[in-house]
Amino acid sequence: MDELEYHAAVENDLRFKKLPDMRFLKRHILTSDHHDFIGRVYDLGIVAYHFDSYADLAKHEDCKYAFDIDGVVHLLARRVESLNLAGDMLWPDPFPTAKALPISRFEWLTAAADVFLTRFISVVDCSLQLVNAVFETGLPSVDCKIKKLKKAGVSQVVIDLLGTMLDEQAHLRGERNARIHEGIERHFTRDDQTFKIAALMEKGRGITGIDQTGRTINVDRYFREGLVGLQKEFNRSTRKLVRQMDALYDELWEEFEARFGPRIAAATHGLNAGASKKR
């Protein structure tokens, strides 16, 4: 299916759907450190303050392992929390007018969709990096793929969790790829062509009339329709993501302690970097 056929199919589908519910949803806000494993690793990361350089720290296996994991956990947690940037764009308060935004309201939705899709999809990619670090597979970052992690000795339970995460986000990954690699955009309303033109012109005199579906042109309605559609996708996807991340953190915590415990038990530096902690 080429781009013209794709758009024709989507537009035909949208025209025959019932009018969308445009009531704003309650926002789901993501936190970066809600899981105890994250707090555990953050606490251990403080050991870095005992050393003047990474080279000195790396001489102690327990300190090096804890510090290295701390760095990757910080990156992943920050990426999860960064989804709230998309949330800020999807739950604007007050409801923005044309003059309140530096771009048109159609472009605002386009940018919000880009932020959400790219950052949401990258959470799994960042999770692969953490799995790589915890299991000490030694794979280069570019090779952190599920098949290679499995071959490198990552447990089947963790591999299955990662596979589930990839499967759940498949449709969003497909849209992300279509947007970035093929230039295909998401439809926000039943007549995006009119919405785009009307939104671009509302900073001036605006336009009036009837759109292609027979509805009176109304940028506020178009914008709200697009926002609510993205809100539904955001809430549904991020709530599921949190549950999946919790299950992954549970498994990684077990593996982390199994590797860190013997290291700290054998340590002679006297820094008390943190004994093995059971949940």
pLDDT tens digit sequence for 132-142 = 999 999 999 99
Please report the pLDDT score of residue 254 as a whole number: 97
Q: Residue 210 forms beta bridges with which residues?
A: 216
126, 162 in Cβ contact below 8 A? no
Q: Do 74 and 64 meet the contact criterion of CB atoms below 8 Å apart?
A: no
With a cut of 90, say whether residue 111 has pLDDT above it: yes
Average pLDDT, integer, range 101-111: 95
Amino acid (one-letter) located at 64? K
**Cα-Cα end-to-end distance for the chain:** 52
- Give residue 16's pLDDT: 42
Contacts 24+ apart (CB under 8 A), 181-185: 182/3, 183/3, 184/3, 184/6, 184/7, 185/110
Give the position of tokens 């409801």. Answer: 95
Q: Quick one: pLDDT at residue 271?
A: 73
Region 19-41 average pLDDT: 80
Q: pLDDT grade, residue 125 (50/70/90)? A: very high
pLDDT at res. 275: 54
pLDDT of residue 27: 82
pLDDT at 216: 94
Closest CA to 23 of 231, 234, 233: 231
Model pTM score: 0.84
Read off the pLDDT band of 274 (50, 70, 90).
low
- Is the pLDDT reported for residue 12 higher than 80? no
pLDDT (tens digit per residue) in 154-189: 999 999 999 999 999 998 999 999 988 998 898 999
Average confidence (pLDDT) over 53-61 = 94
Tell me if residue 253 falls in helix, strand or coil: helix
| Per-residue confidence (pLDDT) for residue 19, from 0 to 100 | 54
Given a cut of 90, is residue 128 above it in pLDDT? Answer: yes
DSSP string, 60-89: SHHHHHHHHHHHHHHHHHHHHHTHHHHHHH
pLDDT mean over 82-105:
91
Who's near 277: CB < 8 A, 6+ residues apart?
40, 257
Amino acid in position 69? I
Percentage of residues in the chain with pLDDT exceeding 90? 70
Q: What 3-state class would DSSP assign to 216? A: strand
Dist. CA 133–CA 128, nearest whole Å: 9
* Chain mean pLDDT for the chain: 88
Give residue 34's pLDDT. 84
pLDDT tens digits along 182-191 = 988 989 999 9
What is the distance between the alpha carbons of residues 247 and 241, in angstroms, rounded to a whole number?
Answer: 10
- State how far the Cα of 65 lies from the Cα of 59, in Å rounded to an integer: 11
Q: Is the pLDDT of residue 207 over 50?
A: yes
